[in-house]
């Protein structure tokens, strides 16, 4: 924000200096009233060209590859500003300052059009400058978030080896007394190892994320009064696919936290994964009867996921939900 304030102040300074330069340049041969009129007309005209192109035409047309529309719009902009500037300036000069008739010639428009074109070129450089400041600000934001995430991770990794050793000891004891309990301890250990080893990475194997989801579901099943039907449909070959960690689990976690009534008998969760040049992931569950307005709640996990997706992919992702009769479906679509 401070850099944008600095950039704004710099723009005000530049325009002020240009206005003063136009004023004193004209004052050498013309009266003060005309010098003032010329300086104001020139500054406003050039500013309009620069900001119209940099803030509107380039983002809305050129960046969206509408090149013909952009070219036509630029020509209309330059012609319109040239005509309005020359005619209004001459009108004020000869009707209110020296009060005598004047015939405009074509060369007056040509000269003004050339100068306006030069300022149009400056507007392209100005757009690049804005992009540079924006990218720098995003980079600093990402670095700060990364540092905070690393700090949080370090705080969470309190004696992990001691914890795993303890779980292993409990696992071996449970194997003799209760194999089911031992299996759950093994799944819990896998989940914790995922958080500690896979979580800090920028990308992990998709299969690791899916194994984490399976272990999480198995642990959640133990909390259910009645068995929950689970249907997972995956493509055959996932070995080469890599994604940022913990992108898929929030959709599954949200089902067990907000979308399932553990006292009902007919609960189910259906997971679908499709791959092309994008990853399409969906999770469906039966809507609980006391769900109210939002069947699966509005948990912190999904809000954090949306913010994280914005940082990773900008606008190039889809995170949405859909309700159809007694089924609630969450969908995530990201590029690969």
Query: Which tens digits make up the pLDDT trace of 14-28?
Result: 888 888 887 777 766
Angle at 242 between CA 240 and CA 246, to 5 degrees: 145
Give the tens place of pLDDT for each residue, 267-291. Answer: 888 999 999 889 999 999 887 765 5
Q: Is 11:23 a contact under the CB 8 Å cutoff? A: no
pLDDT score, position 140 = 78
Quickly count: other Cβ atoms within 10 Å of residue 312's Cβ: 16
Q: What's the mean pLDDT in 98-118?
A: 75
Angle between helices 106-156 and 32-52 (to 10 degrees): 50
Q: Is 264 exposed, middle or buried (0-12, 13-18, 19+ CB in 10 A)?
A: middle
Q: Which segment of 53-62, 103-112, 132-141, 286-295 scores lowest on mean pLDDT? A: 286-295
CB 185 within 8 A of CB 171: yes
What is the tally of helices (H) and strands (E) in the chain?
9, 7
Longest CA–CA separation in the chain, Å: 110
pLDDT for 190 equals 74
pLDDT at 279: 93
**In this model, does residue 334 exceed pLDDT 90?**
yes
Percent of the chain with pLDDT over 70: 78
Residue 103 has pLDDT above 90, yes or no: no
pLDDT band for position 176 (50/70/90)?
A: low
Interval 225-274: pLDDT, tens: 778 888 999 988 887 889 988 889 889 888 887 777 777 778 888 999 99
E strand or H helix at 253? helix 249-254
Locate the DSSP E strands across the chain.
204-205, 229-233, 242-243, 268-275, 278-286, 318-324, 327-335
pLDDT at 158: 47
Q: Which residue is associated with the tokens 């914890």?
A: 163
- Average of per-residue pLDDT values in the chain: 78
Return the pLDDT at 291. Answer: 53
Please give the DSSP secondary-structure letter assigned to residue 104.
-
Tokens of 332: 């995530």
Structure tokens given for 121: 């070129």
Q: Which of 35-39, 172-176, 229-233 shows the highest mean pLDDT?
A: 229-233
Q: Looking at the predicted structure, is the pLDDT value of residue 104 above 70? A: no
Tokens of 266: 């007919």
60-74, 137-151, 232-246: range with lowest mean pLDDT: 137-151
C-alpha 81/C-alpha 137 separation (Å) is 34
pLDDT of 106 over the 80 cut: no
Query: Which residue has 């292993």 as its token pair?
Result: 168
- pLDDT at position 173: 59
Helix or strand (DSSP H, E) at 285: strand 278-286
pLDDT of residue 293 exceeding 50, the answer is no
Mean pLDDT of 85-89: 81
pLDDT of residue 187: 75
Q: What percent of the chain has pLDDT over 90?
A: 8
DSSP state of 98: S
Dist CA 73 CA 79 (whole Å): 10
Pair 334, 313: CB distance under 8 Å: yes
For the chain, first and last CA: distance in Å? 32
pLDDT at 145 over 70: yes
Of residues 241 and 199, which shows the higher confidence score? Answer: 241
């Amino acid at each position: 924000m401070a850099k944008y304030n600095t950039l704004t102040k710099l723009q005000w300074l530049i325009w002020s200096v240009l206005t003063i330069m136009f004023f004193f340049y004209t004052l050498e041969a013309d009266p003060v009233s005309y010098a003032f009129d010329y300086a104001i007309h020139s500054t406003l005209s050039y500013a309009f060209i620069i900001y119209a192109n940099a803030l509107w035409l380039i983002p809305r047309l050129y960046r969206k590859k509408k090149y013909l529309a952009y070219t036509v719009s630029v020509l209309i902009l330059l012609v319109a500003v040239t005509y309005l500037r020359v005619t209004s300036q001459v009108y004020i000069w000869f009707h209110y300052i020296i009060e005598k008739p004047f015939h405009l010639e074509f060369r007056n428009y040509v000269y003004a059009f050339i100068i306006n074109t030069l300022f149009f070129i400056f507007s392209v450089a100005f757009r690049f400058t804005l992009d540079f400041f924006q990218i720098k600000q995003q980079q600093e934001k990402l670095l700060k978030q990364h540092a905070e995430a690393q700090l949080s991770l370090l705080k969470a990794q309190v004696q992990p080896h001691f914890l795993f050793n303890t779980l292993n000891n409990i696992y071996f004891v449970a194997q003799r007394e209760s194999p089911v309990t031992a299996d759950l301890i093994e799944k819990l250990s896998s989940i914790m190892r995922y958080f500690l080893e896979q979580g800090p990475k920028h990308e992990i194997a998709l299969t690791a994320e899916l194994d984490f989801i399976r272990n999480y579901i198995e642990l959640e099943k133990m909390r259910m009064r009645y068995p929950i039907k689970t249907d997972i449909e995956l493509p055959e070959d996932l070995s080469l696919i890599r994604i940022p960690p913990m992108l898929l689990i929030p959709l599954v976690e949200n089902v067990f936290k907000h979308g399932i009534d553990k006292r009902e008998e007919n609960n189910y969760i259906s997971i679908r994964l499709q791959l092309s040049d994008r990853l399409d992931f969906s999770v469906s569950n039966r809507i609980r009867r006391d769900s109210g307005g939002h069947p699966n709640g509005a948990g912190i996990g999904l809000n954090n996921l949306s913010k994280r997706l914005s940082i990773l992919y900008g606008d190039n992702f889809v995170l949405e939900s859909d309700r159809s009769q007694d089924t609630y479906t969450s969908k995530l679509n990201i590029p690969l």
